[in-house]
Structure 1
C-alpha cells in the first residue's frame, strides 16, 4: 500500500452536543439539524468514489455514514464497516456529564480549570490523563490507552486488501478524536482551541509511513 485518501467527517449534531454533555462511548440520537447536516455533507461528497467506509459502532456515527453513502452517486459502498476502534475517547465516570464541569474536575487540581486551559498549557493528550486521574473508577481512557485502541482502527483500514493505491475511504469520526489527530499529526498548523464542526470534513493521507493531514474542519 502506497497511500489511501481518507475523507474524515465528524458525525452530525446530536442531543448531547446541544446539551453540552460528554459523549464518548455513550450515545444520543442525531437532531434534525444533525440529519440535515449529514445530508448536506453527503451532497458535497456525492461525486467522490469511495472504495470503503468505516465508522465507530455508535449510532450517531453509523447514521451519519449511511446518510452520506445514500447520497453518493458513484460508489457501490452503501454500508460502513463498524468497529469499536473508531469510538470517541472513553470518559468513564464522566460519560453524559456536563462537559465544562467534567473538565473542571479534571483540570482544576492542576491549575487549569477548563479544557481550553488544559490544551493550551499542557496538551489534549494530557487532558485524557487528567480525566482518568479524576475518574473515581479510573475507567476513563488515558492518552496511551486511547491511542492503542485508535491505532488499531487505522491498522484495520491498512489491512484491507481490496483497497488499491490512492483509494478513497470515508471515515466517520468524533470531535475530540479529530482534535487528537490534529495534535498528533497536524504539525502545529491548526488552531486546536476551535472544535471541529459537526458534519465538517478533514482529509488525511494514510500510508505505511504514517498519517499526513491534508486539510482540517472544512465546511
Structure 2
C-alpha cells in the first residue's frame, strides 16, 4: 500500500490581488505582504521532509515555492520543478478586470453577486462552466478543460513519488478549491483560500483524502 502526502500552498499576495483584479493565467509579482505570506508558510513547513517540490509556471507560484524551500531542512530552491498543469483557472476575457465588477457581471443574471456565492450555490464546477459560457470569446476554461490539465499533473506527481513521500505543490486559489471539491464535497470551499495557506491531501493507492483545507495558523502534520 503506497501513501503520498501532498501539501498544497496558495501563492503569496500579488499586486493584482492587492488591487482586486482577476488573476488566472495573468501574472504579477508578489507584494511585500506576499513575500511575508511565503516566508510564513516556509517557517511552518520547515521541518516537513519534502521529497519533491512543484510550482505552476507562474512567477507568483514559483517565487512562493522558492521562499518556502529556502527555509526547508530537506530540499533547497534548486529542487523546484515546474508543472504547468497546476496553473490557476483561465478566466479568459475577464482576466485583469476588477474582481467585484466581474463577479457581479457574471453572477447577477442568476442572482449571485460574488465568486464565493457562485461557488456556494452553483458548485465550483458549474461556476467554471458559467464563465466559459459568458466569455464573449469563450477563452475561459470550463470544468472539463480545467481537469484535462490538472488531473494529468496530479498523475505525473504521483507517478514520480515513492511510498511515504511528502510533496510540496505551490499553486492557486481556484485550483486548490477545485482539487478539494473533487475529493471531498463536504468541505465548504466557498470559504476563500488565503494567500500562503496550506491544504493537505493524503493519497493512498490512488485514493485521495483531504486532511485539512486553508490552514493559516493551526498545527500541521
Normalized against structure 1, the TM-score is what? 0.93
Which of residues 176, 179, 184 in structure 2 aligns to 1:178? 176
Tell me the CA shift for residue 191 of structure 1.
2.6
SS in 2 for 1:191: coil
SS in 2 for 1:17: helix
Structure 1 unaligned regions, length at least 5: none
Which residue pairs with 2:190 in the alignment?
A: 193
CA distance in 2: counterparts of 1:131 and 1:75, whole angstroms: 38
SS in 2 for 1:176: helix
Tell me the CA shift for residue 210 of structure 1.
3.1
Q: How many equivalent pairs are there?
A: 216
Q: Deviations over 1:101-156 (max 9, x none)?
A: 22222222333332233222211111111111111110100011111111011011
Query: Does the CA-based 8 Å contact 1:55-1:61 persist in structure 2?
Result: yes
Indicate how the Cα distance of structure 1 residues 98 and 76 shifts in structure 2: closer, same or farther if over 3 A, else same: closer
Which residue pairs with 2:37 in the alignment?
A: 37
SS in 2 for 1:106: helix
CA distance in 2: counterparts of 1:109 and 1:197, whole angstroms: 28
CA distance in 1: counterparts of 2:85 and 2:132, whole angstroms: 19
Q: Deviations over 1:70-92 (max 9, x none)?
A: 11122356332112101000000
User: Which one is further off, 89-98 or 205-214?
Assistant: 205-214
Which residue pairs with 1:206 in the alignment?
A: 203
CA distance in 2: counterparts of 1:2 and 1:75, whole angstroms: 22
User: Which one is further off, 41-50 or 97-106?
Assistant: 97-106
Query: Does the CA-based 8 Å contact 1:51-1:77 persist in structure 2?
Result: no
After TM superposition, the structure 1 = structure 2 runs for residues 1-219 of structure 1, keeping only pairs within 5 Å, are: 2-75=2-75, 78-160=78-160, 163-188=161-186, 190-219=187-216
Normalized against structure 2, the TM-score is what? 0.92
Structure 2 unaligned regions, length at least 5: 217-221
SS in 1 for 2:66: helix
RMSD: 1.5
Q: Deviations over 1:155-213 (max 9, x none)?
A: 110221xx32010100011111122122221231x232320111111111124433210
CA distance in 1: counterparts of 2:76 and 2:38, whole angstroms: 19
Query: Does the CA-based 8 Å contact 1:52-1:77 persist in structure 2?
Result: no
SS in 1 for 2:209: strand
Indicate how the Cα distance of structure 1 residues 55 and 85 shifts in structure 2: closer, same or farther if over 3 A, else same: same
Query: Does the CA-based 8 Å contact 1:103-1:131 persist in structure 2?
Result: no
